[in-house]
Structure 1
Amino acid sequence: MHQRRTTTYGKLVRDRIPEIIEAEGLTAGVRVLDEREVVPALVAKLAEEAEELRQAGPDDRLGELADLHEVLAALAGALGFSDEQVREAARRKRTERGGFGRRLWLDEVTSPGESDG
């Protein structure tokens, strides 16, 4: 006889994960987050997915980017923003501050000393 084993996750998952778990003959304990819980859970999920992308090999990067995209879309919606609003805000920031296409890495900033200019 096998001993029952429970693994605790405590994290936001995609909508179909419980049915996928149960299709494998396991039991998924889930609950629906209330309004005050959803934004912090999505922000935590965003950090989790960003870390997975950081560690991903070349063959896994597209899937991890897709996960990040899905979480960002859900977070925008939870915060009351449409995809179009987010795209427009990104366009404005790109116009004002630039994008990341030049691959600039800021090493340091030096302030002028008292004897300088």
Structure 2
Amino acid sequence: MGKLVRDRIPDIIRLGGEEPTVSVLGADAYREALQDKLAEEAGELAEATGAEVAEELADLLEVLRAIADVHGHSWHDVERVAAEKRARRGAFTERFYLH
């Protein structure tokens, strides 16, 4: 079973003396792989502690940027929509939990 990896990972593996087996995904497979990667990174974030949290957030952010891109949205667009939604509906700073 394979997984989506960052662009430089095959080169890093080669620098370690191994030859990775890689393929380039088509559009539909790429979208599916991004969804799988999103779940993977979210799970890793849930388990992270201390300094690991920033590392996992960075990984999650990179996946989110890629998802935005494949759907035709710039990250600037996403930030603008988030700000509009925050203004309309709020953020999560109050820690409200609805029962």
Q: What is the aligned residue count? A: 99
Q: Deviations over 1:22-71 (max 9, x none)?
A: 21122211101111111111111111111111101212111111111111
Unaligned runs of 5+ in 2: none
- RMSD of aligned alpha carbons: 1.1
CA contact (8 A) 1:39 1:79 kept: no
The CA distance in 2 between the partners of 1:39 and 1:92, in whole Å, is: 26
Overall identity of the aligned pairs, in %: 47
Q: 4+ runs of 1 displaced by more than 6 Å?
A: none
Task: Say whether 1:42 aligns with 2:34.
Answer: yes
Unaligned runs of 5+ in 1: 1-8, 109-117
- TM-score, normalised by the number of residues in structure 2: 0.92
- TM-score, normalised by the number of residues in structure 1: 0.79
Identify the structure with the greater helix proportion: 2
